[in-house]
Amino acid sequence: MTAPASVLGTTPASPVSVAASVPMPGAVPNGGAHEHIQTALQKLTQRNQQIEADLSRLEGLQAEKEIIRKQIDAVNAALQAFGG
């Protein structure tokens, strides 16, 4: 199940946009290659951490939704007991 960006509070980066920000082999001079690779690693690691945080938040929302569903069921049962 994929939650909309509005639920997660972020706009997910497409794999294409993340990949576009990672330098391709041979696209940089050898002197700066290491720096570019380090930068790519840093960006990918940060995105991975952001995704982990979003997934954790999503799990919390799913648990809360289940609790609310049970409360709604209980209220509906109480209404039926009163004939309404």
Q: Which stretches within the chain are classed as H helix?
A: 5-8, 15-20, 30-81
Count the Cβ atoms, other than its own, within 10 Å of residue 51.
14
pTM: 0.51
Q: How confident is the prediction along the chain (84 residues), in pLDDT tens digits per residue? A: 455 554 555 556 665 565 556 555 555 557 799 999 999 999 999 999 999 999 999 999 999 999 999 999 999 999 999 986
